[in-house]
Structure 1
Amino acid sequence: SGKQVITATQMLDSMINHPRPTRAETTDVANAIYQGTSAIMLSGETAAGMYPVEALRTMVKIAVRIEQSIDYAENFRKSKRIEDPDVTTAISHATCMTALDLKAKAILTVTVTGRTPKMISKYRPGCLIAGCCVSEQVCRQLSLAWGVQPMLVKEEYSSEILCLRAIEAAKKYKFVDDSDTIVFTAGVPLGKPGGTNLIRACVVGDF
Structure 2
Amino acid sequence: MSEIIAEVERDPHYRKATDAAHPEPEATVSDVICDALRRSAAILPITALVTYTAAGRTALRAARERPAAPILSLTPDLFTARRLALVWGTHAVHVREFGRLSEIVDNACAIVTREGFAKPGDTIAVTGGMPFGISGGTNLLRIAQVP
TM exceeds 0.5?
A: yes
Displacement of 1:78 after TM fit? 5.8
Q: Which runs of 5+ in 1 are unaligned?
A: 1-58
d(CA) in 2 for partners of 1:171, 1:73: 29
Q: Which has the higher contact order (CA 8 A, sep 6+)?
A: 2
- How do 1:52-201 and structure 2 match up within 5 A? 59-69=1-11, 70-72=13-15, 75-76=18-19, 79-82=22-25, 84-201=26-143
Number of corresponding residues: 146
Compare CA radii of gyration and give the structure with the larger one.
Answer: 1
Displacement of 1:202 after TM fit? 2.2
Report the RMSD for the aligned CA atoms in angstroms. Answer: 1.7
What's the TM-score once normalised by structure 1's chain length? 0.65
What's the TM-score once normalised by structure 2's chain length? 0.90
More strand by share: 2
Displacement of 1:176 after TM fit? 1.0
Amino acid at match of 1:76: D
Deviation digits for residues 33-89 of structure 1 (CA, Å, limit 9, x no counterpart): xxxxxxxxxxxxxxxxxxxxxxxxxx332221111115436633663433x421111
d(CA) in 1 for partners of 2:112, 2:101: 16
Identity percentage of aligned residues: 27
Q: Which runs of 5+ in 2 are unaligned?
A: none
Check conservation: 1:117, 1:131, Cα contact below 8 A: yes
d(CA) in 2 for partners of 1:120, 1:73: 18
